[in-house]
């Protein structure tokens, strides 16, 4: 049986229950509890540290207000309730990347609860509850001389990442397929990047996902034994890991076995999960209220001030694009994929580029160039203003499509003024009827066989005549006009 077939068979007998936990680093300037820069990637190891994030004796944490604002912003974007009273707790465990021996996190009174995320899966809308969004601090990173710490001969610790604000977003076990899990993450990441709180980078780990998955026989009410899957650093890996886990769990259940509650790690290269820690080996984190930080009181006025900073969210914006600009659902979704993309589109339209023309070019050639050069339009040589000028020339009929495409590709890299270039290089479209009529006559005369074929009903023969006229103008001919003139002339007897 193929992998898909196995999966389909499993899903026939078992209901899959998936809940996701996402850890997202906040794009604050400084760390969660100290003034060190939160940017840990561009600094030399242990450069962005201070007595507080190093956990030296006697130092105390202070709360980063921006991190609280960002978490509230996230909670609002995810339709969460924000209780008026929240507090921090200590999660105690020993590990060398955790200098204090505890992580400051939130336990029983998180910053927000009871949210909702809605997203499309294969054209259907799926709703997943958000249990909570809370705030904590990231750990440092370790570089082992060996695969794992236990067998390493030595290990180096970099505490630049230690204390970076981290938001934990816990989803309800409302997801039923690996694909839905993937789409949940796609939409969640989209929202977080839209509201400017996270950069959504799975590979670098600024957006991380753990998945809880269990299977139960169809119709059963009680949940099956839950397995937590970790180490997935792409959307694809999440989907594959869950698919692999469904197969493994199905195999165990079908063989009459019992599953154990455990933590498993996804091994990308082997395409399977391996056991990391059983329930018995689980830590007792001994949570208790952080005595160094007084509880936070978030009053309604504060929450409303944060709400006022929320931008239009992707779903609403896509809906508006359809209404306002007459775009298809697909185009609207593509053009609102990121906030930059949507802002670019609205800038083009506001500058007078017709909505449909802007949509076609932005999601077509411009997107392809951005992909090819790994540079978004706004940082390209052309920029949004340059693209506006170029599309105005297309709209005015000053240049034809092929010329515009060539110019776009060139200017995207090197920059320049499209209008000036069109003048300098004489790229303006030849759309003079008299001039083109003469060239049409010449083309027919030079290609009598093609002309005869067309007259005999062979439509394809027109192509050769079109090319001949195009070449005669150096590619600048107004081709729809050439097409019309050729047809007119050839239909004359």
Partner 1 sequence: MTPRTITELAAALRDGSATPRTLLSAALAHVDRTEKDLNAYLAVTRELGYAQADAAAHMLEEHPDMASPLCGIPMALKDVLCVDGIDTTAGSKILRGFKPPYTSTAVQRLFDAGAVCVGKTNCDEFAMGSSTENSAYGPVGNPWDIERVPGGSSGGSAATVAAGSVPYSLGSDTGGSIRQPAALTGVVGFKPTYGRISRYGLIAFASSLDQIGPFTRTVEDCALVYAAIAGHDPRDSTSDPRAVDDPLASLHAGVEGMRLGIPREYLGEGTEPGVRDAVQAAFRVLEAQGATLQEVSLPSTDVALSVYYIIAPAECSSNLARYDGVRFGSRVERPSLTDMYLQTRGAGFGNEVKRRVMLGTYALSSGYYDAYYRQAQKVRTLVSQEFEAVFKEVDAIVCPTSPSVAFPMGSHDDPLSMYMCDVVTLPANLAGIPGISVPCGFVDGLPVGLQVIAPRFEDARVMRVAHAYEQATGFHAQLSPYASAAA
Q: Which residues of the chain form contacts with partner 1 (CB under 8 A)?
A: 51, 54-63, 90, 92, 94, 96, 99-102, 149-150, 157, 284, 286-288, 291-294
- Of the two residues 96 and 474, which places its CB atom closer to partner 1 in the complex? 96
* Distance (Å, whole) CA 163 – CA 50: 10
CA angle 362, 368, 372 (to 5 degrees): 140
- Of the two residues 93 and 330, which places its CB atom closer to partner 1 in the complex? 93
Q: Is 14 helix (H, G, I), strand (E, B) or coil?
A: strand
Q: How far is the CB of 284 from partner 1 (least distance, A)?
A: 5
For residue 447, what are the contacts with CB-CB under 8 A and spacing of at least 6? 464, 465, 468
Q: How far is the CB of 288 from partner 1 (least distance, A)?
A: 5
Q: Is 329 helix (H, G, I), strand (E, B) or coil?
A: helix
Q: How far is the CB of 106 from partner 1 (least distance, A)?
A: 15
Q: Is 348 helix (H, G, I), strand (E, B) or coil?
A: helix
Closest to 427 in 3D by CA, of 398, 388, 387, 405: 398
- Of the two residues 110 and 200, which places its CB atom closer to partner 1 in the complex? 110
Q: How far is the CB of 105 from partner 1 (least distance, A)?
A: 13
* Distance (Å, whole) CA 492 – CA 289: 92
Name the residue with tokens 């694909």: 179
Q: Which long-range contacts (CB under 8 A, 24 or more apart) does 231-238 make?
A: 231/265, 231/266, 231/267, 232/266, 233/202, 233/203, 233/205, 233/208, 233/268, 234/202, 234/203, 235/182, 235/185, 235/186, 235/202, 236/182, 237/266, 237/268, 238/178, 238/181, 238/182, 238/185, 238/209, 238/211
- Of the two residues 174 and 290, which places its CB atom closer to partner 1 in the complex? 290
DSSP secondary structure code for residue 365 in this structure: I
Closest to 258 in 3D by CA, of 214, 310, 307, 318: 214
Q: How far is the CB of 84 from partner 1 (least distance, A)?
A: 19
Paired residues of 168 in beta bridges: 23, 134
* Distance (Å, whole) CA 104 – CA 61: 9
- Of the two residues 35 and 402, which places its CB atom closer to partner 1 in the complex? 35
- Of the two residues 161 and 470, which places its CB atom closer to partner 1 in the complex? 161
- Of the two residues 95 and 330, which places its CB atom closer to partner 1 in the complex? 95
Q: How far is the CB of 34 from partner 1 (least distance, A)?
A: 9
Q: How far is the CB of 91 from partner 1 (least distance, A)?
A: 10
- Of the two residues 96 and 217, which places its CB atom closer to partner 1 in the complex? 96
Q: How far is the CB of 352 from partner 1 (least distance, A)?
A: 52
Q: How far is the CB of 158 from partner 1 (least distance, A)?
A: 12
Cβ atoms of 38 and 47 within 8 Å: the answer is no
Closest to 380 in 3D by CA, of 367, 393, 391: 367
Q: How far is the CB of 299 from partner 1 (least distance, A)?
A: 18
Q: Is 97 helix (H, G, I), strand (E, B) or coil?
A: coil
One-character DSSP codes across 439-465: HHHHHHHH-HHHHHHHHTT-GGGHHHH
Q: How far is the CB of 80 from partner 1 (least distance, A)?
A: 25
- Of the two residues 51 and 271, which places its CB atom closer to partner 1 in the complex? 51
- Of the two residues 63 and 225, which places its CB atom closer to partner 1 in the complex? 63
Cβ atoms of 142 and 75 within 8 Å: the answer is no
CB atoms within 10 A of CB 72: 26
Q: How far is the CB of 143 from partner 1 (least distance, A)?
A: 14
- Of the two residues 73 and 90, which places its CB atom closer to partner 1 in the complex? 90
- Of the two residues 45 and 381, which places its CB atom closer to partner 1 in the complex? 45
Using only C-alpha atoms, the chain has a radius of gyration, in whole angstroms, of 30
Q: How far is the CB of 69 from partner 1 (least distance, A)?
A: 17
One-character DSSP codes across 207-271: EEEEEEEEEEETT--S----EEEEEE-SHHHHHHHHHHHHHHHHHHHHTT-----EEEEEETTTT
- Of the two residues 280 and 284, which places its CB atom closer to partner 1 in the complex? 284
- Residue 440 corresponds to which tokens in the numbers above? 């049409």
CB atoms within 10 A of CB 30: 18
């Amino acid at each position: 049986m193929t992998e898909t077939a196995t999966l389909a068979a499993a899903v026939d007998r078992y209901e899959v229950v998936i809940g996701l936990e996402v850890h997202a680093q906040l794009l604050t300037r400084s760390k969660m509890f100290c003034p060190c820069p939160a940017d840990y990637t561009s600094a030399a190891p242990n450069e962005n540290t201070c007595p507080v994030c190093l956990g030296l004796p006697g130092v105390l944490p202070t709360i980063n207000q921006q991190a609280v604002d960002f978490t509230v912003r996230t909670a609002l974007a995810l339709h969460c309730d924000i209780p008026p009273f929240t507090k921090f707790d200590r999660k105690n465990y020993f590990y060398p990347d955790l200098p204090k021996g505890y992580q400051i996190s939130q336990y029983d009174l998180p910053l927000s609860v009871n949210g909702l995320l809605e997203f499309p899966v294969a054209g259907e809308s799926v709703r997943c509850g958000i249990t909570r969004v809370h705030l904590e601090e990231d750990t440092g990173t370790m570089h082992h001389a060996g695969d794992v710490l236990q067998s390493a001969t030595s290990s180096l610790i970099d505490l630049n990442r230690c204390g970076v604000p981290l938001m934990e977003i816990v989803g309800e076990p409302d997801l039923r397929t690996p694909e839905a899990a993937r789409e949940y993450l796609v939409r969640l990441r989209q929202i977080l990047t839209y509201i400017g709180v996270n950069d959504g980078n799975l590979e670098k780990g600024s957006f991380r996902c753990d998945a809880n998955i269990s299977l139960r026989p169809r119709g059963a009410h009680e949940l099956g034994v839950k397995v937590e899957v970790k180490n997935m650093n792409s959307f694809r890996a999440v989907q594959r890991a869950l698919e692999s886990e469904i197969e493994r769990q199905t195999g165990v259940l079908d063989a009459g076995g019992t599953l154990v509650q455990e933590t498993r790690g996804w091994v990308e290269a082997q395409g399977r999960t391996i056991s990391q820690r059983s329930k018995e080996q689980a830590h007792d984190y001994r949570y208790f209220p952080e005595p160094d930080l007084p509880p936070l009181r978030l009053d309604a006025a504060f929450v409303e001030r944060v709400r006022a900073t929320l931008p239009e969210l992707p779903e609403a914006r896509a809906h508006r694009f359809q209404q306002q600009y007459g775009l298809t659902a697909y185009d609207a979704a593509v053009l609102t994929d990121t906030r930059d993309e949507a802002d670019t589109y609205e800038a083009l339209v506001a500058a007078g580029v017709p909505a449909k023309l802007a949509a076609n070019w932005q999601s077509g050639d411009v997107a392809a160039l951005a992909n090819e050069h790994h540079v978004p339009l706004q940082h390209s040589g052309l920029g949004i203003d340059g693209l506006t000028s170029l599309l105005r020339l297309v709209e005015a009929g000053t240049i034809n499509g092929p010329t515009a495409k060539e110019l776009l590709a060139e200017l995207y890299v090197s920059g320049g003024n499209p209008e000036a270039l069109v003048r300098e290089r004489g790229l303006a479209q030849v759309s003079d009827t008299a001039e083109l009529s003469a060239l049409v006559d010449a083309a027919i005369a030079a290609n009598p066989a093609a002309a005869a074929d067309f007259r005999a009903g062979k439509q394809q023969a027109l192509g050769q005549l079109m090319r001949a006229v195009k070449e005669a103008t150096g590619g600048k001919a107004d081709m729809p006009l050439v097409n019309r003139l050729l047809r007119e002339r050839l239909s004359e007897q």
